[in-house]
Amino acid sequence: MGACALRIRGGSIGTKATSLGTDRSGHGCLAHALPVGMSNPHQGSRTRGLVDDIVEVAEISAPTFSEEARLAWVESRLAGLPGSRRRDTVGNLIWSFGNGRPEILLTAHLDTVFGEDVPLTVTRADSRLRGPGVGDNAAAIATVIGVVEDLAAGGEADGIAVAFTVGEEGLGNLRGAHAACDALKPMAMIALEGHGLDEVFVDAIGSVRARVVVRGPGGHSWVDRDLPSAVHAMLVLGSELIAGPTPLAPVNVGVVSGGRSVNALADEAWLLVERRSVDEEPLATFVEQLGGLAVESPLTVSVEDLVRRPCGRLPRDAALLQTVREVRRELGLPDVLVPASTDANAALARGIPALALGVARGSGMHTVAEQIELDSLELGRRQLELVLRRSLG
Ligand SMILES: [Zn+2]
């Protein structure tokens, strides 16, 4: 398939990688061949095209806490494949091979940051797929399915468990990943993300997230001018909260809301605030600060929906990291280690060796202008396949 020659940035890979242009030709050649949604005439019968899977997943709405439609898609995609499948207590779909503790747990989160009202049409322009969630996390979901399907077909998937997780984004608080780690107790974990092929996410950025609510009597802005306003008090609390961040432990007030009218004293106001860090101390300090927030009577303040996303660091001599770095050297991928906030946080917080890997290069994550580079997908697929083969011995 000369016309579909694989372009690899920064290195070369062996002849097996040219499967992009053979049995899975739909993965690499579609960039200049067919409109999205059309089947590729070169596509093998054993597996479906990776790109087709990405498009189908990305076009299914899956806001955090509403992942059911995507779960149903994955279940039907996996129907008839080897391995066992089950839903767990929080709604993850677990696809596993072999008995006992998994040697390696792979996670791909199902949810997105986009509400039901956001159109999810995927388009292809030049060598890119464009659309909300096309990388984060449709590309990861499709890649993990394709790679594990290939390994299973060769009888090489024993020891693998895949968790298609719920609740990774926003206020989902990693509930899917926490439940999967508790139930499966894996020996190691890799969280798959759509973006970030040029980096390895080795440390877990933890966070504290909370809704701070101020309530009061409200009133007329002139008649009741001696009374306090919930909005005014909330602005003061917000400025206190953003006064003390450090470069590696930033504070963000992401949403503010409250009040009824320009000529009414607000009876309620609230804000959503977050602090992030890879170290525990700034997070613990922030929890203390939230607990100490005070307003003058008759106003009241309460901290609601307080959630903690755990932080953690992967030891640099972990076998999993050694394997990943070795594979990346061979594939010509950069040896860049960075922190991130992913499903891997849940494992690192439990002392389970874990990291996150991207499956593609792209941009615009968490925006409607998100896109991924089609040519990068084969490298992402190959990286995961090699890491799994070597991790499983
Ligand atoms: Zn995301």
**Ligand 1 geometric centre to CA of 297 (Å):** 40
pLDDT band at 1 (very low <50, low <70, confident <90, very high): very low
**Ligand 1 geometric centre to CA of 226 (Å):** 46
**Ligand 1 geometric centre to CA of 279 (Å):** 21
- pLDDT score at 38: 38
**Ligand 1 geometric centre to CA of 194 (Å):** 9
CATH code assigned to 214-308: 3.30.70.360
The average pLDDT across 220-240 equals 97
**Ligand 1 geometric centre to CA of 136 (Å):** 5
Q: Are 106 and 148 in contact (CB under 8 A)?
A: yes
pLDDT band at 269 (very low <50, low <70, confident <90, very high): very high
Closest CA to 332 of 373, 374, 386, 379: 379
Domain limits of the chain? 18-204+312-392, 214-308
**Ligand 1 geometric centre to CA of 244 (Å):** 26
The average pLDDT across 361-367 equals 95
d(CA 31, CA 228): 60
The average pLDDT across 339-353 equals 93
**Ligand 1 geometric centre to CA of 87 (Å):** 22
**Ligand 1 geometric centre to CA of 21 (Å):** 30
**Ligand 1 geometric centre to CA of 112 (Å):** 6
**Ligand 1 geometric centre to CA of 114 (Å):** 10
Expressed in angstroms, the distance from the first to the final Cα of the chain is 32
**Ligand 1 geometric centre to CA of 352 (Å):** 22
Quick check: bond before 119 cis, omega within 30? Answer: no
**Ligand 1 geometric centre to CA of 195 (Å):** 9
**Ligand 1 geometric centre to CA of 230 (Å):** 33
Three-class SS state of 194: coil
The phi and psi torsions of 280 (rounded to 5 degrees) equal -70, -35
**Ligand 1 geometric centre to CA of 384 (Å):** 20
Residue 126 CA: distances (Å) to CA of 10, 37, 115, 360: 21, 16, 28, 16
- pLDDT score at 26: 32
- pLDDT score at 393: 67
- pLDDT score at 247: 85
- pLDDT score at 22: 30
pLDDT band at 309 (very low <50, low <70, confident <90, very high): confident
Could you read off the pLDDT of 135-178 as tens digits, one per residue? 999 999 999 999 999 999 999 999 999 999 999 987 788 999 99
Task: Report if pTM > 0.85.
Answer: no
> Which runs of consecutive H residues, i.e. helices, occur in 81-186?
140-153, 175-184
Could you read off the pLDDT of 30-61 as tens digits, one per residue? 333 333 433 343 333 333 599 999 999 999 99
CATH code assigned to 18-204+312-392: 3.40.630.10
- Fill in the DSSP letter of residue 364: -
**Ligand 1 geometric centre to CA of 3 (Å):** 34
**Ligand 1 geometric centre to CA of 45 (Å):** 32
Q: Are 338 and 173 in contact (CB under 8 A)?
A: no
> Which runs of consecutive H residues, i.e. helices, occur in 244-308?
280-291
Across the chain, mean pLDDT equals 87
Beta-strand runs (E) in the chain: 84-87, 93-96, 104-109, 123-125, 128-130, 160-165, 189-193, 200-204, 206-215, 219-220, 251-258, 264-265, 268-277, 300-309, 312-313, 337-340, 354-358, 362-363, 371-373
Task: Tell me the two tokens of residue 106.
Answer: 């792979």
- pLDDT score at 149: 96
